[in-house]
Amino acid sequence: MIPPVAGAGIAAGAPASAGAGSAPAGLPATVAADGLAPAAGLGPPAAAAAESRRPARASDRAPQAARIAVLGASGYAGQEFARLALAHPGLQLAALCSREQAGRPACELLPGVDPRVDPLPPVLDPEALEERLAAGAFDTLVCCLPHGAWKQLAAERPALADGPARVVDLSSDFRDGRVPAAGGWDYVYGLPEAFRLEIPAATRVANPGCYPTAAALALLPAAEWIAGPVMVSALSGVSGAGRAPQLRTSFVELDGGAALYRAGTEHAHVPEMERTLARLAGRPVPVGFAPQLAPMARGILLTATAPLARPVSPGEARDAYLARYEGEPFVRVLAAGTWPETRAVRSSNRCDVAVTTLHGGTTLLAAAALDNLVKGAAGQAVQNLNLMLGWPEEWGLPTHGTPW
């Protein structure tokens, strides 16, 4: 079940959690929640058919649209965020920031975007972005910078950290969330399925990592049964390593094989997984992690095993997962005997999970698949923004994957 959204500033008349196809308050009736008008014949008269095929433009959007600047817009996560924002009924791209690409047309930065559909924002360097903030051009900052870079930029340019009404940071800089971050800001850990009620009141959100999101969703319903160390093993697509060229992620090094890296407790995501599991279980849960690079562009396929405090049958485990995730728009519990695959969730904000138990019910085996760039990064950032803005959580987010 999705708990009710506390303190949400939902536009008058908008449902607390509308279905994916419902139009939000403030939008013309012909504009659906995916930002596209309904198909001809389903709603508007024939005379309006041409108009109905036109995707939503900024002028169609909700009057309370959030105006977004994207830091690191030339990277994989930044580009995916921009793609999702352009199709979102309430998010308006106001600026893209890149040090290397500043001044170039945005359509060169975003090769998948058709510039005829929406007016694209300028591509600015961080200094010009700060000036645009001072001029009131945007109210929401989405940081898609490598780890450490946002913390450093926030210290160098405090106006960028303090000025926006909302900041969502996709790096790990503020995911520990306990100590108020630079400028006195407290970042809330934005994993809606686990900590949804904390997000609507937040103005600063630390978006979880891709592996930790998959691990948390694979284990969340079982957290209280876990009696010892959790072993997590995961395949990742290469976009998870970012866009900067590296020998390890070049085609020749990857093609035709898969490779373990930083196995054990070395990977930076281990403490994040342990923090989340400790919050869910109410006690420390040690994690061992075996991440693997797979020759695919995107996707995470994760399995987790753990000893259980009491015997749990496979049916009981699956029923608990079904009950915990009932009504969750972006988590699907697969049928018994069916296991997640990356292609089914590719380009979607969905995480598929499956669970069983072994050894007389004393060992948990859970699995999850998600798209590292969507539910593992940009899609989850949109989900968090929807909650922060009091909008339906599913707004503008794809539930269906593109397997081929």
> Catalytic residue positions?
210
**Closest separation between CB of residue 129 and ligand NAP, Å?**
10
Rounded to a whole number of angstroms, the minimum distance from the CB of residue 144 to ligand NAP is 4
Q: Which two tokens mark 280?
A: 């869910």
Q: How far is the CB of 234 from ligand NAP (least distance, A)?
A: 12
Q: Tell the smallest beta-carbon distance from residue 152 to ligand NAP (Å).
A: 7
Q: Please name which of 204, 269, 199, 284 lies closest in space to residue 234, comparing C-alpha atoms.
A: 269
What angle do the packed helices 210-219 and 269-281 form, to 10 degrees? 30
Contact set for ligand NAP, span 157-186 (CB under 6 A): 170-171
* Shortest distance, position 164 Cβ to ligand NAP, whole Å: 16
- Of 67 and 298, the one with the shorter C-beta distance to ligand NAP is 298
C-beta atoms surrounding 127 within 10 Å: 11
E strands present in 127-264: 140-143, 166-169, 188-189, 204-206, 230-236, 259-260
357: tokens are 């138990």
The residue among 211 and 391 lying less far from ligand NAP, judged by its C-beta, is 211
d(CA 255, CA 274) in angstroms, rounded, equals 32
Piece in contact with ligand NAP (CB under 6 A), picked from 38-46, 132-140, 142-150, 197-205: 142-150
How far apart are alpha carbons 112 and 132 in whole angstroms? 26
Total interface residues for ligand NAP by CB under 6 A: 29
Minimum CB distance to ligand NAP smaller for 78 or for 90: 78
**244 in contact with ligand NAP (CB under 6 A):** yes
Nearer to ligand NAP, 35 or 376 (CB): 376
> Between 5 and 293, whose beta carbon lies closer to ligand NAP?
293
Residue 149 near ligand NAP by CB under 6 A: yes
Candidate list 68, 82, 199, 210; residue touching ligand NAP; CB under 6 A? 210
Starting from the edge strand earliest in sequence, which strands make up the sheet with 123-124, in order? 123-124, 91-97, 66-71, 140-143, 166-169, 204-206, 188-189
Residue 24 or 376 with smaller CB distance to ligand NAP? 376
Look at residues 241, 251, 252 and name the one whose alpha carbon lies nearest to residue 210: 241
CA 115 vs CA 52, 61, 112, 120, 371: distances in Å? 19, 17, 9, 6, 25
What is the largest distance, in Å, between two alpha-carbon atoms of the chain?
A: 65
Residues 42-101 that bind ligand NAP (CB under 6 A): 72, 74-78, 98-101
Amino acid at 119: P
Q: Which stretch binds ligand NAP (CB under 6 A): 139-147, 225-233, 318-326, 330-338?
A: 139-147
Among residue numbers 221 through 240, which ones bind ligand NAP (CB under 6 A)? 239-240
* CA pseudo-torsion sign 40, 44, 47, 49: negative
Where do contacts with ligand NAP occur on this chain (CB under 6 A)? Answer: 72, 74-78, 98-101, 144-147, 149, 153, 170-171, 209-210, 239-240, 242-244, 372-373, 376-377
